[in-house]
Amino acid sequence: MGLPVAACAQAPLPPGLVQSEATRFRLQPFAQGLEHPWGAAFLPDGNLLVTERPGRLRLVSPEGRVSAPLSNVPAVAAAGQGGLLDIQLAPDFATTRDLYFCAAAPARGGSLTRLYRARLAADARSLDVVQPILDAGPAQSGNGHFGCRIAFDGEGFLYLTTGDRQRVSERAQDLGDLAGKLLRLDRDGKPAPGNPFLGREGVRPEIYAYGLRSPQGLAINPATGSLFEVEMGPRGGDEVNLPAAGANLGWPVVGHGRAYSGLPIHEAESRPGMQDPERFWVPSISPSGAGFYTGDAFPAWRGNLFLATLSSAGLLRLTLDGDRVVSEERLLWNQTRLRHVLQGPDGFLYVLTDESRGRVLRLVPAE
């Protein structure tokens, strides 16, 4: 794409320090003993809820103590890329204690992406009133591409990503199928008012945009209110998208990747009527969770979008002008697979490592 790329400075630094373009920071251990942590959400009291892909939900204290698994978490299809995945607090969590999470769930015919609403018990040791509110069906066999990122917009509507389920990529183009889609929902899991396909025969009314492969990141730009969707391509073709209402993001018809065999997948890189990505990567970096930074601990990073990455094993910082990506910086590159990144109430950045002995690490300003 011709955008400038900056790498961390190579000059010797004091032990423990990392140099970014505009600041220095330390990477600190925060919590450990988590098996493939996947999603996380900070509570108003500073505790952190963390999902583990095998199907556990834990609470991490502000001091980094990891709780026993919370009770009343439903069984999940924990195989391959499936399991207990993202979690987000409802906008009114402080008064309702409502939260939303999604998982790969067993169903007749295999498994599917399922969205749940629940309430965190007052003692934060269990979930109460757990309700499945949407199944992204139909179910199929296989354990790949569930999507499952959640974000709330300024109106309180919920966005949910679903993957194409990998085996039949054409599902992403089928408007009667919820696989490979970006959904826009109300708090009960119903189609949100104003959705682009409401009332259209043969089309699922929950759909906001379609043509997604393996959407791993979802975040609202606080400066503009725009929704950023991040997805993993096959062999190349990872993308950052700004999906418009009703947009076709193109998978598998157009794109910049190739099959894992090296053979072509797409008919073209771009096509009229299909929305191009804001940014793409060849070769792959395998982006996962995404989050905007708005805190005071790193003033030079305010408004930046951070992506956790897997195959490149690091943290990607994107600088924006409005919603346009103008540069990127690769931090902690080729070190540890990172599944998610989010800002804490202390203004520090927290990252989840994708490991069987997974950890939560945090970036703090250098003294």
By annotation, the residues acting in catalysis are 145
CA distance 296 to 107: 45
Contacts of 108 (CB under 8 A, 6+ apart): 139
Residues paired with 102 in a beta bridge: 115
Residues 176, 179, 183, 186, CA torsion sign: positive
CA distance 60 to 232: 29
User: Residue 193, Cβ neighbours under 10 Å: how many?
Assistant: 10
CA distance 15 to 314: 19
CA distance 167 to 100: 27
User: Residue 299, Cβ neighbours under 10 Å: how many?
Assistant: 11
CA distance 176 to 163: 15
Read off the amino acid at residue 259.
A
Q: How far is the first Cα of the chain from the last one, in angstroms, to the nearest whole number? A: 36
Residues paired with 87 in a beta bridge: 101
CA distance 30 to 33: 11
Burial of 335-351, coded b for 16+ CB within 10 Å and e otherwise, reads ebbbbbbbbbeeebbbb
Cis omega before residue 62 (within 30°)? no
Q: Are 366 and 17 in contact (CB under 8 A)?
A: yes
User: Residue 2, Cβ neighbours under 10 Å: how many?
Assistant: 3
User: Residue 322, Cβ neighbours under 10 Å: how many?
Assistant: 10
CA dihedral 293, 312, 49, 152 (to 10 degrees): 50
Q: Are 354 and 339 in contact (CB under 8 A)?
A: yes
